[in-house]
Every structure is written in C-alpha cells, then in structure tokens.
Amino acid sequence: MPAEVVAAGLLHDTVEDTSVTLADVRREFGDTVRLLVDGVTKLTHLPRVSRGDQHAGADETEKDEVLIQPALLGRKEDMVPETLRKTFLAMGEDVRVVLIKLADRLHNMRTLGHMPEHKRGRIAQETLDIFAPLANRLGIWQLKWELEDLSFRYVQPDKYKEIAESLAERRPDRERQLEEIKINLIRLLDKNNIKAEVSGRPKHIYSIFKKMQKKDKSFGMLYDVRAVRLIVPDVPACYAALGVIHTTWRPVPGEFDDYIAAPKDNHYQSLHTAVMYDDKRPLEIQIRTQEMHMNAEYGIAAHWRYKEGGKHDKQFEERIKDLRKMMEWRGDVNDATEFVESMQSDVFRDRVYIFTPRGDAIDLPAGSTPIDFAYTVHTDIGHRCRGARVNGKLVPLDHELKTGDQVEILTAKRGGPSRDWLNNSLGLVKTARAKSKIRIWFKKLEDEQNLATGRNTLERELQRLGIPGVNFEKLARELGYKTPDEMFIDLGTGELSISKVIKQFAEDNEIKDILEANAPAVPHKPTDAVEVVGLKGMLASMAKCCNPMPGDQIVGYITRGRGATIHRQDCPNILLTPDRERLLKVGWGHVEQTFPVPVKIKAYDRQGLMSDISNLLSDENININNVSVNVNRSIADLRLIIEVRDLTQLSRILTRIENLPNVMEAVRTKPG
C-alpha cells in the first residue's frame, strides 16, 4: 500500500487509545492520513477485538464500560452487528479504510492465543463468518486464507490439529514429488516455446477441511491431490500452456474451469484444470498471468501496486462500482442485525449466473428466486412480476434459481408487489436489494392505508394464534416505537416483519396480575418446564382443555391429588370456575420441550392436500399428534394437534400452511 495508508495503519489506534487528537495527526502527517485514521476510528467507536476483549486482566465491569455506550445502543449483543454495519458502509466510501480494518483483524487473530479462552471461539467464528468473506469479496486471497486458517484453529481445534499433523507427516514426500513435477513441466513448456514460472501451490488447512466436507472424504483420500501454479507472460500463453498439458496428460472430467473468459464475481481470473499425471494420480494445475496472480493475491489492493498503467485504474473503478452497486440497498436498512444478515446473504454468499430471454447474464446470490431476478433486471418488472418461466417451464415464485437457468418474467400491466413477498417464512424474496425496492414501493402508499393494513395484519395474526387482549402500547414500546400507530405503519410498509413482533411478544415473560389471587412471590428461577409462583417443587402438568404453550398468558389450578394443572388465562374452565382460591399465579421458565397445539385448517379439497401439509410440517421437524379430516361439499375441515416450541414457530407454520394451494385459512383452535 502507499505510504499514507501504511502510516494510517500504524496510527489506527492512537486517537482511540491515547490523548492524541485528529488535529495532532493532521498537523504531523497531513490530511489523507487524518481522514484514514478518522475512518478507522469511526469503525471502533463500538466494540471490536482490540478493545475490552484484549484486556485479559480487566474485570468484567471495566470491559463493559469500554464496550457499552447506552446512547448508541441499548443492548450489548446489538453492538457487534452495529460495528460491522459501519465497516460495510465505510467500504462504499473509501476501500482503504476497510483494508486497514482487515489488517487490524488479521493482527488480532495472530495474537488471539493471548486472549481469555472464553473470547477466542466467539471472535474466531465472527472472523470466519464476516471478515474472511469480506477479504474474499475484495479478492484478497492473502488475507482470506490466513484469516480462515487462524479462525479454524480456534473454532474447531481438534480438526485443525488432525489436518495440520497429517500435512506435516507427508510434507517430505509431497515436496520431493512436486520438485520432480515442476522440472517436467518446465521442460515440456520450454520444448513448446512457452515461458513459465512453476511453483507448488500452498495447501491451506481450512480449504482442505472444506473439500473434505464437500466431497465427504477423509484426509487420507484427499492428500494425493498435488497442486501447481503456472505464471505465463500473457493470455494466449495461458491457453497454449493448457493445450500442451491436456495433450500430454489426460484431463480429469468435470475439473476444468475457465475463469479468464468468465471471471468470478470478485474479479478473480485463472485457468483451473486437473490431469492424471504419469504416476496415475491426479495433479491440479492453475494457469494465469503475472497480473492475474497479483490480482488474485492482493485483490482490490493490487490497484496501488500498479501506478504506471491507466488501464489498471479503470479496472479498479469497475471493482468499486461493482461493490457500490451490490450495496445500493444499504441506506434503506437501519437495523444493524438485519444489515449484517443482508450482507451475508447478498454479498458474501456464493453467486449464480442467470440468463435473460435475450441471453444477457445476470449475477445473483445463490438461493435467489424469480422475484429477485425480476428486480435485478428492472424495478418496474419486479413490481409487476406475477409469474416466471425457467427454461421454458412455469415455476412457483419461491423457486431457487441455478447457474445457467434462462428466466422469463411474466408481468401484469399494472399493480405492485404483494406484502407476502416480505414475509421471510415464505421464502419468496431472498436478496436485500429486492426487499429494499419492495419496501420503498409500500412507503409511497398513504400512511393511513399502511396504518390500517398494519393493524389488520397484526390483529389477524394474534387472532389466528389465539392471543387475546394484547397491550399494543406496551408491545410498541418494547419494539422501540413511541406509539402503536408508528408500529402499525412500519408493519404496513413491510419495514417491520410480523415474525419480529410475534417473537418480541413471545420473549416478554412478564405475566399480568389479572387474577385476584394474591400469592406470595418467590425469586425467579428458570426450570425446564413451568414454574409455579409460591409453591416451590409442586408437580405441574399442562391442561388438555386449552393446551397452553410458551408466550401464552397462563394460570395454575390446584387439583386434588395431581398437583397443579396449567391453563391459558382465557380458558373457559378457568373463567367459569367458582373455586377462585385454588388459582395460582404462574410464569414460564426456560422451556425447551414442545407443546401440543390444536390447529384448524379450512381448504378446498384436492388430491395431495394432506400430503403437502405433512411434508411441510416434516420440513420444520414438527410432530403431528392427531389428525381428523371432514369433507363437506368439496370443503375440507382438517383438525390437527401439532407439537411446537413457541409462538414464533407456530406463526411461521400457520403462514406457510395458508400459502399452500387451495388453503383458505389455518388458525389455532380457541379453547372450549
């Protein structure tokens, strides 16, 4: 990197950790260094590895003081996503800031062994999930492989040690074989007037582990794979060398990739092939030019290594443009956790290449659907999308696209997107870019309409889940809104998902004291079932008449000889009981078990309806306790008792069932 970036790297902690100010940095080192140090400092106002985590001797109070700034965020667990959000936003402004951040993280990983043991796994996992993919997206192989190997060492220490020891045992044999192979290759290419540098390609422990997983093979079955790299003068020489190698040794079917003609989405270019060598064992070969090699090793940072040629600057501008285009939705996502999840799905995930009917290639994250494709082609096509043909066949809108698919979008003349597209349970839209455009469309609708739609959506969901009398004021406050109307408007625009509201409601463990029973309270101790306030250790069982589940407001009833039974507060048997003195105030503990819930499904009868419902429940690992089906004049009335963990899961299941063909409604059966 240029001197200013190296200087900023050396100074990156000074403003954060010492009395030095940005004005001091500017006076001593100039504007550029000041801006870069300021950029990295902005990324460290919130926690990162080099703050409290590194002070192994500090007590927890000191660490919390360093890590938490309540004015910025209320909860400690939200801090890491917020830091990462700042990193990604900075990437669009000045990529040099992110390169310093990656170098800082690499140094943190190299010294991770000096940190407290309970921190290592978390920091290593975060590096593997976020920072290594970020280095890959910027094309910096040097940083990517070292971050992966260092993280793997702490995330799965036993596996790391096993592979490292196996590599060390076989190193002498492998090095001797590679030396012979290199000599043979140089002779062969010289004979064909091709100048080439040949080197053994380093084996990285994490990439070996990934290959073992992908191919479901042990290390012993993989170690035979030798790998060499050829650096040749120009592109014609790449293909000439490939031709010579393929005519000398038999290529392994399915192992050839041309990343020169079709570069990877991080601009990586190279020819990859594998041949059966003279000893009848496979040999992997990469062929590339010196410039391609520099780009592969240093990625976007290679730009600064070429100052003499303008064409490299043009290439650099293209890469920056691609990064900005890929993140054009970033200003529309304010929630830090959602932002990081969107980055992982849109930017870090593997890519698929889809073709329009005219043959244009569209680059999308793996797992994308026809709606994602439609929005990538044009926002208006996305809004009016009503169906899709993939390779000439009609497919549902949640169909996952594969590389090479040709997609034709079927559009309506007018109209807009459906609110269902923003429902994560349905999987109709996967990319943050498409979700952002759908939200913007709904934002343009009148607030009154959004408010009414949001209120109706929530009330219908609560009714469907059998949850009466919810305090919307309290729920809105818990979700960070000043008034319920603001919450309803965000629900109406799709800015707030119904699943997040239900999750928040289910997490609220406060039980309202609506009963007159004035039982003495005891300290809250989570159990693996249900805790009964005032009667420690009493046997408790779930009432069959109303089947309560976590998230419901519940009440206990003392039976004769069978301990206490737990009912929903709106259970008719409880509301009508004359023995009010036998009622207990109870609360949920940390429940891990499943709960039987009666569900009613109304649908137009068709062949395969029950099969579709049972397959859907099987996909969600949900057990069916009981089923009854009654068909009257082509209307099927299905009654199921299913075992679910909590309200969030029940909400998702009912939504998915309602979106099956012919299903009119799926609701939780009310008690009584």
Q: pLDDT, tens digit, for every residue of 76-98?
A: 444 455 555 655 665 556 678 87
Q: Which of 17, 180, 318, 459 is catalytic?
A: 17
Residue type, 318: E
Mean pLDDT within 312-336: 56
Q: What is the pLDDT of residue 369?
A: 92
Q: Residue 104 catalytic? A: no
Q: What is the pLDDT of residue 70?
A: 33
The pTM assigned to this predicted structure is 0.51
Span 113-123, pLDDT tens digits = 888 887 888 88
Q: What is the pLDDT of residue 323?
A: 61
Is the domain covering 595-668 a CATH 3.30.70.260 domain? yes
Among 218-227, 317-326, 588-597, the range with the most confident prediction by mean pLDDT is 588-597
Percentage above 70 pLDDT, the chain: 76
Q: For helices 484-493 and 432-443, give the axis angle rounded to 10 degrees.
A: 120
Q: Alpha-carbon distance 308 to 266, whole Å?
A: 23
Q: What is the pLDDT of residue 521?
A: 35
Does residue 666 have a pLDDT over 80? yes
Kindly list the distances between the CA atom of residue 550 and the CA atoms of 106, 342, 463, 467, 528, in Å, as whole numbers in the listed order: 43, 29, 16, 12, 12
Residue 372 and residue 434 in contact, taking contact as beta carbons nearer than 8 Å:
yes
Q: What is the pLDDT of residue 27?
A: 92
Q: Which two tokens stand for residue 238?
A: 């790449």
Q: Which two tokens stand for residue 464?
A: 């469907």
Does residue 52 have a pLDDT over 50? no
Q: What is the pLDDT of residue 232?
A: 92
Span 367-379, pLDDT tens digits = 889 999 999 888 8
User: What residues contact 194, with CB distance under 8 A and at least 6 apart?
Assistant: 232, 237, 240, 241, 244
Residue 578, φ and ψ in degrees, nearest 5: -80, -20
Q: What is the pLDDT of residue 370?
A: 94
> Is 439 in a helix, a strand, or coil?
helix
The HSE-up count of residue 8 (CA atoms within 13 Å, CB side) is 26
Q: Which of 16, 78, 338, 400 is catalytic?
A: 16
Q: Alpha-carbon distance 31 to 365, whole Å?
A: 38
The HSE-up count of residue 321 (CA atoms within 13 Å, CB side) is 6
Q: Which two tokens stand for residue 662?
A: 């012919």
Give the lowest-confidence range in 35-44, 252-261, 369-378. 35-44
Residue 241 and residue 255 in contact, taking contact as beta carbons nearer than 8 Å:
no
Span 2-32, pLDDT tens digits = 888 899 999 988 888 888 888 999 999 998 8
Whole-number average pLDDT of the chain: 77
The HSE-up count of residue 557 (CA atoms within 13 Å, CB side) is 21
Of residues 353 and 271, the one with the higher pLDDT is 271
3-157: CATH topology is Hypothetical protein af1432 (1.10.3210)
Residue ranges of E strands in 175-270: 197-200, 226-232, 250-251, 257-258
Q: What is the pLDDT of residue 223?
A: 47
Q: Alpha-carbon distance 398 to 371, whole Å?
A: 8
Q: Is 183 exposed, middle or buried (0-12, 13-18, 19+ CB in 10 A)?
A: exposed
Q: Alpha-carbon distance 338 to 63, whole Å?
A: 26
Does residue 189 have a pLDDT over 60? yes
Span 495-537, pLDDT tens digits = 788 888 887 777 664 433 322 222 223 333 444 455 655 555 6
Mean pLDDT within 253-268: 82
- Where exactly are the structural domains of the chain? 3-157, 164-300, 349-431, 447-507, 530-588, 595-668
The CATH number of the domain covering residues in 349-431 = 3.10.20.30
CA-wise closest residue to 366 among 405, 393, 334: 405
Q: Which two tokens stand for residue 246?
A: 């393929």
Q: Residue 570 catalytic? A: no
Residue type, 600: K
Confidence of residue 301 (pLDDT cuts 50, 70, 90): low
Does residue 61 have a pLDDT over 50? no
Query: What 8-state DSSP symbol labels residue 406?
Result: B
User: What residues contact 670, with CB distance under 8 A and at least 6 apart?
Assistant: 466
Query: What 8-state DSSP symbol labels residue 445?
Result: S
User: What residues contact 5, with CB distance under 8 A and at least 6 apart?
Assistant: 36, 96, 99, 100, 304
User: According to the 3-state scheme, what is the secondary structure of 64-121?
Assistant: HHHHCCCCCCCCHHHHHHHHHHHHHHHHHHCHHHHHHHHHHHHHHHHCHHHCCHHHHH
Residue 400, φ and ψ in degrees, nearest 5: -85, 125
Q: What is the pLDDT of residue 222?
A: 59
Q: Which class would CATH give 164-300?
A: alpha beta
Of residues 330 and 112, the one with the higher pLDDT is 112
**Biggest alpha carbon–alpha carbon distance for the chain:** 102
Compute, in degrees rounded to 10, the torsion defined by CA atoms 437, 442, 444, 447.
Answer: -150
CA-wise closest residue to 524 among 590, 467, 584: 590
CA-wise closest residue to 417 among 447, 443, 390: 443
Residue type, 650: L
Sign of CA dihedral 331, 335, 336, 342: negative
Does residue 188 have a pLDDT over 50? yes
CA-wise closest residue to 521 among 446, 442, 584: 584
Q: Alpha-carbon distance 80 to 46, whole Å?
A: 8
In whole angstroms, what separates CA 402 from the centre of its chain? 19
Compute, in degrees rounded to 10, the torsion defined by CA atoms 424, 430, 432, 436.
Answer: -70
